[in-house]
Amino acid sequence: MATVEERVKAVTARVLKLDPEEIKPEHSFTVDLGAESVQSVELVAMFEEEFGIEMDEDAALSVETVGKAVEFIADVCKQQGVEVEQ
């Protein structure tokens, strides 16, 4: 099974039309990866679908970087009893 980081990168790449290899944990979704506000909403929606979780919109949308998203999603998965590969 792919790790949380690999899955976050794959979703990000699909939504933002990027090569997953180019996405780094330190990248900001908006500044480095060019996510517009509407795409941020789509990213949150697709992360929820990918991991089968429910995220608080305000908290999820305040996450700025890919690495922080990985931590945030792993934490939500743990809280909601969803098993993931670290």
Partner 1 sequence: MRLILVDSPDEVRGNFYPLALSRPLWELRCGFSSLGEKLTARIGAGSVAYFVPDYMAASYRAKAEGPVNDVSVLKGDDLLIVDPRIKADGFNVPAGGPSEVGLDEQGNVLYARVAEADLAKLAKDDIGQFIESAKAKLPNVTTALPTWKYIWDLILANSDQIKADFATAGRNGVEGVVEEPSAVRGDKKDVYIAPGAKVHPMVVIDAEHGPIYIDEGVEVHPFSRIEGPCYIGKDSILLGAKCREGNSIGPVCRVGGEVEESIIHGYSNKYHDGFLGHAYVGEWVNLGALTTNSDLKNDYSCVEVMLDGRRSINTGSTKVGSLIGDHVKTSIGTLLNTGSYLGAMAIIMAMGKPLPKFIPSFAWFLEGVVTKGFGKGKLYETAKTAMGRRGCRWTDDKQDMWDAVFEMTAPMRDKAIKKGRREMLSR
Instruction: Give residues in contact with partner 1 (CB under 8 A).
Output: 37-38, 41-42, 44-46, 48-49, 56-58, 61
Which residues, in sequence order, are CB contacts of 26 under 8 Å at separation 6+? 65, 66, 67
User: Shortest Cβ distance from residue 62 to partner 1 (Å)?
Assistant: 11
Interhelix angle 4-16/66-79, nearest 10 degrees: 120
Tokens of 55: 């995220």
Cβ at position 60, least distance to partner 1 in Å: 9
User: Please, which residue, 24 or 82, has the CB nearer to partner 1?
Assistant: 82
Is the Cβ of residue 32 or residue 42 nearer to partner 1 in the bound state?
42
